[in-house]
A = this chain, B = another copy of it.
């Protein structure tokens, strides 16, 4: 099973199409300005400047983080997905220029990392734990594969292959090689992608090496000793100092998500990609165990993951505080990648459900409506004045920013969105799976013949999806994801109830003929959701959802002190279409008043508190903070009895 390629799909206006267009039209150009240090506000990137300096074009010391190259590579990857749909000479000229700089910067033996080229190249590969060289190479590989596939131009691929050769000559189980692996995973999944293009067994073997060597030795401590450094530093407060890097035990022994969340999830994605490619059941079983831990015990309702600001890390099962959460945009994106890989390995609807959750909540909350400002941290509750005075939420920015000193998230959203069309449909033998819902025309080859379908929907604003089979063949099966949140739905083929089979989250429809029209209507009422009672931070609270979309209250609509709002389990919701927010939901709520409390009274015996009823206005969480700074809250106190 694999995703239906972008070239087989033509997007038609719908919410998904708008997201792809926003990424192409707004994010790519504005990020190009950022990468070239031409934004009028925010920190500078220095990533283009570093590459120019490494190429000998200008004289400048390295600036920015050691992993700054990766922002550029992610941007190239994002742009390449756009080019795959539509070539663009001006955009390609920019990338070709960057590739020409890479060619000049690359050392004779293939090495290419601006940090070490511009500082001390003799120190390269001496600090895998902290210095992200292999992480940057991973992103270079992804960029190279994407650009080559989009344009057929192979210069960037050649540069990359030379660097991979060097890395393969440097690292491995063999005697004489360094027995290391990256402190920040990413290259593992990239090497599997590269293998898929090149079919060079070395590329797969190198991915397997990095995954299977991980956590089996004390490499990070050993290399630190060679550098004359102390082993570990702040992260040592974890029970084992290598836990932060997922390097405290072999990867197949992991049972609880741990350490830096993006690293954890890129590692899992790499493991799943390798298992997908090789059929390694032990790896896939570890991925499954970790999938369950993350999505059933350590994931916010928005799909956000990584509860702790310290270490940008996972904490423990059922520890899901709304305010002090980290929920890095990149972590949500990496969970989306992990889900996408799991899905192509096994057509289980829940993988698509989580992708849906992530797309419409915890990833898109990372960008503003305009596509030019970003959140790095995605809280489920924001009290702006706390972010000013309480260190527990200093990491929670109360407004999206134009750029970050560590700007991993912006180009990551870009590459996720420009590649969104390639996560909509999958095919396996004679079955076409519909994963994420979007208006499109698709024509693709299955084993028994080619099929052509048209899909029309305003999802997630509406749960109504219409498919038209333009061309089918005998034996063709259309499998429609039935989201886990659906309580009632209707399915008609040409107005009739069809015979169909529900299996692992999909409705499988066979016997389709050319011209058949399938009306698939997922009833999408507003619903209150609660969390497992082991989640100490959410007990007694409810969140409002509609379809895959999590809603929130904002101060601009509802006033402040939102922690005092109570919602009844029986509240009646009014849904109103809204040009800006898709669907706005209103509901009567109660608000505990401060009336009757003296300003000098902090604790007092229970009293009859006053409650004011008002109509609360809920908007989709992902769209919060598009109207200035203010309080925001997802989880509301639930009125009992």
Contacts and interface: CB of A to CB of B under 8 A. Distances in A.
Kindly name the residue among A540, A543, A564 whose own CB sees the greatest number of chain B CB atoms within 10 A.
A540
Contacts of A593: 533
A307 B392 CA distance: 9
B605 A309 contact: no
Contacts of A296: 599-602
A531 B593 CA distance: 13
Interface string A256-290: 00000000000000000000000000000000000
Given A600-B296, A641-B641, A594 B532 contact: yes
Contacts of A528: 605-606
A600 B317 CA distance: 12
A292 interface: yes
B392 A533 contact: no
B295 A603 contact: no
Nearest to A320: B602
B529 A603 contact: yes
Interface stretch (A43-51, A382-390, A614-622): A382-390
Contacts of A502: none
A437 B601 CA distance: 24
Nearest to A608: B569
A386 to B, nearest CB: 6
A145 interface: no
Contact of A390 (B299, B308, B390, B603): B308
A313 interface: yes
Nearest to A258: B389
Contacts of A392: 308-310, 315, 321, 324, 392
Contacts of A529: 603-606
Contact of A564 (B324, B530, B533, B640): B533
Kindly name the residue among A310, A311, A315 whose own CB sees the greatest number of chain B CB atoms within 10 A.
A315
Kindly name the residue among A237, A529, A536, A641 whose own CB sees the greatest number of chain B CB atoms within 10 A.
A536
A561 to B, nearest CB: 7
A586 interface: no
Contacts of A638: 606
B606 A569 contact: yes
Nearest to A599: B296
A31 to B, nearest CB: 28
Contacts of A292: 600
A389 B316 contact: yes
A592 B231 CA distance: 45
B388 A239 contact: yes
Nearest to A597: B532
A566 B292 CA distance: 30
Contacts of A324: 324, 392
A184 interface: no
Kindly name the residue among A388, A533, A637 whose own CB sees the greatest number of chain B CB atoms within 10 A.
A533
A563 interface: yes
A607 B301 CA distance: 17
A390 B319 contact: yes
A107 B394 CA distance: 45
Nearest to A565: B539
A297 interface: yes
Interface string A525-562: 00111111111100110110000000000000000010
A391 interface: yes
A609 interface: yes
A306 to B, nearest CB: 12
A397 interface: no
Interface string A567-593: 001000000000000000000000011
Interface in A39-77: none
A508 interface: no
B391 A603 contact: no
Contacts of A321: 392
Contacts of A22: none
Contact of A315 (B386, B561, B569, B639): B386
A487 B606 CA distance: 13
A310 B391 CA distance: 6
A602 B299 contact: yes
A297 B390 contact: no
A531 B602 contact: yes
Contact of A391 (B311, B388, B592, B639): B311
Interface string A101-132: 00000000000000000000000000000000
Contacts of A385: 316
A639 B640 contact: yes
A601 B569 CA distance: 20
A146 B244 CA distance: 50
Interface in A297-337: 297, 299, 301, 307-311, 313, 315-316, 319, 321, 324
A332 to B, nearest CB: 15
A545 to B, nearest CB: 8
A255 B599 CA distance: 15
Contacts of A543: 603
Contacts of A600: 292, 296
B563 A539 contact: yes
30 contacts: A237-B391, A292-B600, A295-B602, A296-B602, A310-B394, A311-B391, A315-B389, A315-B391, A316-B386, A319-B386, A321-B392, A528-B605, A528-B606, A529-B603, A529-B605, A530-B603, A531-B603, A532-B594, A532-B602, A532-B604, A533-B561, A534-B597, A535-B602, A536-B563, A539-B563, A540-B540, A540-B592, A540-B637, A639-B641, A641-B641
The 6 tightest CB contacts between A and B, nearest first, are: A310-B391, A641-B641, A315-B390, A316-B389, A536-B563, A640-B640
Given A301-B603, A528-B606, A640-B641, 8 more contacts: A308-B392, A316-B385, A319-B389, A319-B390, A321-B392, A534-B597, A535-B602, A539-B592
